[in-house]
């Protein structure tokens, strides 16, 4: 039996881990800044960033994604292009009774639900109840719905790399 050990004092073993932790923190700060998410949602922000980073190609993996390296298949990127973190979205309230004023509930998009539901299942945060839910069918807010629901229009994402945006 062979036992492999890691030495904390060996900087060559720690540098890749420290580097990826720095990247996660940097991108999480970037996402938090442009999204307007409250500071207490930092765990959701880190999960969002890690989900995207694990599905982004890396040169050290021969231009493959960590997800592809682990599972042997190319990840589905289409779910990542629909919404941005903390974007206000609507989902159908299946508990409404007739007559009802609205069959939709306003929530915030907070990530991707890869272990619940189908491939297009998302995580949303209900500010009214404080619950994080998984929902498959979300509706983006159009211009007229921002006013109806009393929500500020979602800011457009800044262009450029996080370091470029944060230093200017």
**Residue 106 falls within a domain, yes or no?**
yes
The domain tally of the chain equals 1
Give residue-wise pLDDT tens across range 113-152. 988 877 788 999 999 999 999 998 888 887 778 777 777 7
**Residue 107 falls within a domain, yes or no?**
yes
Burial of 77 (0-12, 13-18, 19+ CB in 10 A): exposed
**Residue 8 falls within a domain, yes or no?**
no
Over 90: is that where the pLDDT of 79 sits?
no
Give residue-wise pLDDT tens across range 93-116. 776 666 666 678 899 999 999 888
**Residue 3 falls within a domain, yes or no?**
no
Contacts of 118 (CB under 8 A, 6+ apart): 136
**Residue 89 falls within a domain, yes or no?**
yes
pLDDT at 125: 95
**Residue 34 falls within a domain, yes or no?**
yes
Over 80: is that where the pLDDT of 13 sits?
no
Domain of 67 in residue numbering reads as: 14-153
């Amino acid at each position: 039996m062979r036992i492999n050990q890691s030495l904390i004092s060996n900087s060559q073993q720690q540098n890749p881990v420290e580097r990826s932790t720095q990247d996660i923190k940097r991108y999480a700060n970037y996402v938090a800044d442009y999204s307007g998410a409250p500071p207490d949602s930092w765990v959701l922000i880190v999960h969002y960033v890690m989900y995207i980073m694990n599905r982004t190609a890396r040169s050290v993996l021969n231009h493959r994604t960590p997800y592809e390296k682990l599972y042997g298949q190319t990840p589905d990127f289409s779910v990542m292009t629909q919404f941005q973190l903390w974007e206000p979205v609507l989902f159908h309230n299946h508990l409404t009774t007739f007559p009802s004023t609205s069959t939709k509930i306003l929530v915030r998009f907070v990530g991707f639900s890869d272990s619940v539901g189908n491939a297009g299942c998302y995580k949303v945060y209900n500010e009214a109840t404080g619950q994080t839910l998984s929902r498959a069918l979300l509706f983006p807010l159009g211009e007229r719905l921002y006013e109806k629901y009393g929500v500020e229009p979602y800011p457009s994402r800044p262009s450029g790399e996080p370091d470029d945006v944060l230093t200017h």
